[in-house]
Structures are given as C-alpha cells and as structure tokens.
Structure 1
Amino acid sequence: MEGPYLSTVSATIQAAIAPVFLLAGIGAFLNVMVGRLARIVDRARDIEKLHPRSTGPEHERHVWELRIIDQRISVINNAIFLCVASGLAICLVVAALFVARIAGWHLGGWVAAFFIMSMLLLMGGLIYFLIEVRMSLKAIHVREELLELDRKPRRR
C-alpha cells in the first residue's frame, strides 16, 4: 500500500517542477521590483528634505519630480501586487496537482485555469513594470541648461 502512494507523490512532484521554477522566477523578479520601490522611496525622501528650502525654478523642479515619484510608487505597487497574485496562482496550481493526484479528483480544468490566471497576472505585472521604467527615464533626463548645448565642446 505504501509503494503506490509514494510513486503517486513522486510523479506529482515531477509534474510540479515547472510551476515551482516559474515561482522561483517570479520571486526573483519581485526582488528586483521591491529594490526599485526602495530606491524610489529613498529619492522621494531626499527631495522632500530639499523641497522646503528651494525657491523658483528649483522648487518647481522638485514639485515636478515629487509628482512623478508619487505616480511611480503607485505603478510599481501595482506591478508588485500583480506579480504576487501570479505567484499565489502558481501555488494554487501546485496544490491542485497534489489534491487531484492524491484524492483522485479530476481538476485538470482548474489547474489550467489557475495557470492561465497566473500568466495573465504576470503579464499585467510586467506591463506595469515597463511603465514604471519608462516613467523613471522621463524623470532622469538631464536638463538642457546643465548640458550647456550652446557652448562648443573642447577638443582634447
């Protein structure tokens, strides 16, 4: 009686390997996104310290950048939420595989639905991540007055 049960569990573990690797990949991606969120928050705190003392164009630039940072925080939070939800859906895939195999239930449709849901959530998270990256590029362009484009470059 112990033999078939062990082979059933072993076969289920083999079937669950691909979703578990996907879960590891989602975890690594979440690590990147949480790191970006931390850097965004650090930048917001730096600007918040400068903001009360700034005046004129510098003040306007701080307000502009704080608005972009506020938007970026919302977008990256959405990306993190969707990727965590994707990871949870993958966990449902693995759990459903084990329940189906051990209980003898036919959950193939549910497993497929959870996997499709996970992929859609991951796609949404990646889209939000791409939007946040594009927003960050908008915020870091060097101002033209700092580039001194009206001056000719020196020859070396």
Structure 2
Amino acid sequence: MDIHLTDISHIIQLSIAPVFLLTGVGTKLAVLTNRLARIIDRSRVLEDRLSNGAGGSFADAQSELLTLYRRAHLINRAITLSTCCGLLVCVVIAALFIGDALKLALAKFIALCFVLGMFSLIGSFVYLLREIFVATQSLSRRFLPSASK
C-alpha cells in the first residue's frame, strides 16, 4: 500500500480543524488552572489565619474557606472534563490520520469520539459557569449584606 504526498497532504487538511479546537481547549485549561491557583492561594492564607488565630472573625474565615473548597471542587471537575475533551480531540486527530492513511473505516469511531469530546467541553463550561456563580454570590454576601436576604 503506497501513500503519496497528496494523500498525506489531504490527511493533514482533515486534521487541521480539530487542531484548532485543541488550541482552544488548551487555552481554556490555562484559564481554569489559573483560577484554581488563585483559589488555593486564598485558601492557604485563610487556613494560616485560622491556625494562628490571627485577625478577623473565625466564622467568616470558615465560611469563606467552605466557599473556596466548593469553588475548587467545581474547577477541578471543569479541568477534568476539559482534559478529557483534549484527549478525545487528540484521538480524533490520530484516528483521522490512521483511518485515512490505512484506508480503515473509522468514521463511526471518529464521530463518537468527537461527540464525546463536545459533551466533555459542554460539561466543562457548565462547571466553570457554576464556579463563577459561586464566586460572585460569595462576593455579594461579603460586601453587600442586604443582597443575601
């Protein structure tokens, strides 16, 4: 079985669109990990403050810590789903290349992986949105006490 340069060029063209998706997923992962890092940094400050018994209300610090733990949990789920999406997109790219190069019928497998990747991406966005709602809700409770009533 001979693979010609035009065949390889066609295979690469098929793989380009998922590569752009992969770039977007990578950028989203960077945003998610930055959000998680900020949550972890703030949690460490509060945990140190609680263990030292320094400044502020114990109840307020505990309440904020619980909110931060919830946010971290949501972001972790978003990261997991985004990573799954990235892996599935990589599988799609590899399957496109292998299927076309070796003349294998992988269309259903490729479609399944792509759809699963899209569901993972959608789920990741849902968890990110939930985390943003929790973060903004905690802000309004802290700075606008009348808003929580």
Q: Look up the match of 1:97.
A: 96
1:86 equivalent in structure 2: 85
* Matched position secondary structure for 1:140: helix
Q: Cα 1:144–1:22, aligned 2, differ >3 Å: closer, same or farther? A: closer
Counterpart position of 1:154 = none
Specify the SS of the correspondent of 1:89.
helix
User: What's 2:69 paired with?
Assistant: 70
**1:23-51 Cα shifts (integer Å, max 9, x gaps):** 00000000000000000000001111212
Distance (whole Å) between structure 1 residues aligned to residue 109 and residue 37 of structure 2: 36
Counterpart of 1:107? 106
Provide the residue aligned with 2:8 in structure 1.
9
| Correspondence 1:6-155 to 2 at 5 A | 6-52=5-51, 53-54=53-54, 58-141=57-140, 142-144=142-144
Amino acid at match of 1:29: K
Query: How does the TM-score come out when normalised to structure 1?
Result: 0.86
1:152 paired residue number: none
Between the aligned partners of 2:20 and 2:89, the Cα distance in structure 1 is 10
Deviation string 1:97-136 (CA, Å, 9 cap, x unpaired) is 0111111111111111111010000000110011111111
TM-superposed deviation, 1:139: 2.1
Shift of 1:94: 0.4
Compared CA separation, residues 118 and 49, structure 1 to 2 (3 A)? same
Consecutive unaligned residues of structure 2, counting only runs of 5 or more, are: none
Runs of 4 or more, structure 1, over 6 Å off, are: none
Q: CA RMSD in A?
A: 1.8
Cα shift at 1:9:
1.1
Q: How many percent identity over aligned positions?
A: 35
| Alignment: residue pair count | 143
Shift of 1:143: 3.3
Question: TM-score normalized by structure 2?
Answer: 0.89
Query: Counterpart amino acid of 1:102?
Result: A
1:144/1:91 CA distance change after superposition, 3 Å? closer
- CA offset at residue 54 of structure 1? 4.8
